[in-house]
Structure formats: structure tokens, C-alpha cells
Structure 1
């Protein structure tokens, strides 16, 4: 039995990934602050609260849910683009929240899932990264730094060569989600490149979340997953694959 854990499963790409997995007959455990219809196994948890996440991971629930799995998937999707703006405009509390949500939670879950899986179960870990982790953008210093951290985590974890475990930090492309709406709502003082993202929406260049999720899950389940610890979905799974 394949079992998958999806963070941030209540909206956007996370919801589309959860729906794609369920459509393929894969059991899903969703982790987010709120619940979503159609998913039987869910944990209400603010992933930016590292202490609350640590307390849940210290309990029996994760191992119990994974106990009958022969293959385990972890999709670290939850994240935030905030705070947007140059250094002097960044709220320290927002920086702390971003680091906890974008870095600490994925790393904590990766370690916990690797440890809690049944001894014979294969494990695949996918961090939803971003091109922003590989190229700098003005106003996105926190977002760029946190996504770059996921890339380096995957690179280093892959070097551990853990039996039965594959990991990849995957940039999914530019998707038509609420995060894109947040970006377009930023002022030019916060994000000087906003017009580029306005144009993507205006010209219909944003990828539909369901289309992206189908390609992402196809890659996650495919033979090539993990062959490169850092990858771009647009290169490894072109449209139609």
C-alpha cells in the first residue's frame, strides 16, 4: 500500500496534489491549519509553529498511520512568499514564520517520516521548491533563501545514501494559485519585478494547478525520481507526461 503525506493540502497546488494522489488510489494524510473536504485523514496543525509540530511528531500518530504502508510519499508543499520587500520593510515575526514554515517544517517532517516508516517500506520525499531558490529576486530575500535551503537539504540528504529513500527538491514552475495573487498585490516598492508576474497572469502563462499536480505526481512515482536531488518539473516532466 502506498501512503502519502501532503502539507498545505487545503488549497492551491497542495489541494491539487492531494486530489491527484487520491484519484490514483493512494491514501493521503493532509497536514494544514484547516481541513479540506474529501480527505479522510487530516491533521489540523500550524506548520509555522515548530514546537507544535515537534510535539505531534513526538507522539504515536505518524508511525501508526504509516504502519501498514509498503511505500511512503512525503510532499512538503506548504510555504509562504511573505515577507515581500527589501530588508528594512521586513517584519521580524514574518521572517521567523517564513523560516519555520518553509524550512523547519519540511526538514522536521523529512526526518520524522524517514524514521517512522516501516523498516521494509520505500520512501520518497519531495520538497516543493522554486526557481527563486536558484536565482535571486529583489524583494524576495527571505523566500529565495528558504527555497535555496530546501535544495541544499535534498542535495545533502541524497549523499547520505539511505537504503530505500529517494529525495528531490523540485521547482514546479509558475502556477495559478493564491500565492501568485499575493505577488501581484505587492507594491512596486516591495517587489520591483511585479509587472513580470502581472504579465504572466494577463497573458495566460500560469500553469493550472491540476495540470501541474498530474505531472508532479507522475514524476514522483516514476523511475527517474531522485536521480537528481534538485530538479525543475518543466525539464523532467514536460506537458503530456
Structure 2
């Protein structure tokens, strides 16, 4: 049996990923601040949801210390962890960023994926196959003015995947993948940014106006195809737009 943990499943790409996995008969455990009522109603037997603020390190650590994760994976032959949840704020130059937003972003974008990966590996040792994918960004590899925190946290996911791959853990594959520019609420937030704090705002607005954003369902399908394919994990980082499942 294949089982998957998806963070940030209540909207955007995370919801599309959960829906795609469920459509393939994969049992999903969703972690987000809110539950997804339509998915829960449509997949009552295959979707477990836990309302959890992943930007709260103490709350996540307490949840991971409990029995839920190990219990969920107990009968899995293949286990998947998709670290998708993330936040863009704070946007703006260093020195003018809100300290609380910095703390929340570092925990949500980087701390939570590292905590979850560690717990996932510990709980999935019995599985014949286990795979971790961090949802990264082009901002991990290309710096943008005003996005210092977002760029740094996404780059941290890339380095975690590289280092974990070098650990050579049995039956574990890991990759940090940029999904491309996907038409989600985060992209709407990018377009609403103040250009004085984010000089690239006009470029991202143009991508939307020119129809160059991927639909969440399309990006999710490509990502899950690759995650389940033989090529997953051959390289610890990559861009979904240039990868295949083969």
C-alpha cells in the first residue's frame, strides 16, 4: 500500500497534490492549518486530516512526538512525504522585515520540512520504498531583491536534499524540486507586492497576463508522475519542467 503525507493540503498546489494522489488510490495524511472539507467529503476513507500550524515549532514537535505519524505509516509498503507548505512573507529589504514574520517563515518553509523529514525517516524504516520531495523554487537558485527570507529558506531545502542523499540511507530517495510558476494564491500575493519592496513585481504580473502560469492540477500531475517514477531522486535538486518520470 502506498501512503503519502502532504503538507499545506488545504489549498493551492497542496490541494491539487492531495487530490491527484487520492485519484490514484493513494492514502493521504494532510497537514495544514485548516482542513479541506470537499476533499474530506469525497475521500472519507482515504484522507486523514490534521489541523496543525506548521509555523509553530512547539506544536509540530508535540504532534510528531505522538503516535499519529507512525500509526499512519505502519501498514505502508511505500511511503511518500511531500513538504509543500510555505509562505512568501516577509517581502522587502533586510532591515525593514517584521521579526515575527521572519520567525514564522523560517519555521514553516525550512524548519517544518526538516522536522518532518527526520520523523518520517525514523517511522518508515520498515517500508520497501520511501521518498521525500521538498517543494522548492527558482528562488532557491536565483536571488531576488526583497525575497531574502524566501530565497534563503528554499535554498536550505535544496541543501538538505543534497546532504540527505549523501547519507545513503537504505530505500530512501529524496529531491528538492521547483515546480515552475503555478497559478496559486501565493502568485496572487506576489502580484500584489509593492514594487518598491519587490522590484520583480511587474515581471510576475506579466506572466499571469500572458497566460504563462501552470494550473495547479497540471503541476501536481507532473510532480506525482515524477515522484512515483524510476528517475525520482537520481538528482537531489531539479526543476519539474525539465524532468520526466522515466
Which TM-score band (shorter chain)? over 0.9
* Structure-2-length-normalised TM-score: 0.95
Alignment of 1:20 onto 2:27: no
Aligned-pair CA distance for 1:118? 4.7
Q: Is the 8 A contact 2:81 2:117 kept in 1?
A: yes
SS in 2 for 1:88: coil
Aligned-pair CA distance for 1:122? 1.4
> Structure 1 residues 32-41 or 225-234, which shifts more?
32-41
Q: How far apart are the structure 2 equivalents of 1:120 and 1:78?
A: 24
Aligned residue for 2:3?
Answer: 3
Aligned residue for 2:52?
Answer: 45
Deviations 1:71-93 (A, max 9, x none): 00000000001100101220011
Aligned-pair CA distance for 1:117? 1.4
Alignment of 1:68 onto 2:75: yes
The Cα RMSD (Å) is 1.1
Q: Is the 8 A contact 1:134 1:148 kept in 2?
A: yes
Out of 213, 233, 237, the residue aligned to residue 206 of structure 1 is: 213
Deviations 1:77-115 (A, max 9, x none): 000011001012200110000000000000000010100
Q: How far apart are the structure 2 equivalents of 1:148 and 1:196?
A: 22
* Structure-1-length-normalised TM-score: 0.97
* Runs of 4+ deviating beyond 3 Å: none
Aligned-pair CA distance for 1:184? 0.7
Out of 153, 162, 166, the residue aligned to residue 146 of structure 1 is: 153
SS in 2 for 1:189: coil
Q: How far apart are the structure 2 equivalents of 1:79 and 1:213?
A: 16
Q: How far apart are the structure 1 equivalents of 2:64 and 2:54?
A: 12
Aligned-pair CA distance for 1:120? 3.6
Alignment of 1:219 onto 2:192: no
Gaps of 5+ in 1: none
Q: Is the 8 A contact 1:70 1:118 kept in 2?
A: no
Gaps of 5+ in 2: 41-46
Counting only pairs closer than 5 Å after superposition, residues 172-191 of structure 1 correspond to structure 2 as 172-191=179-198
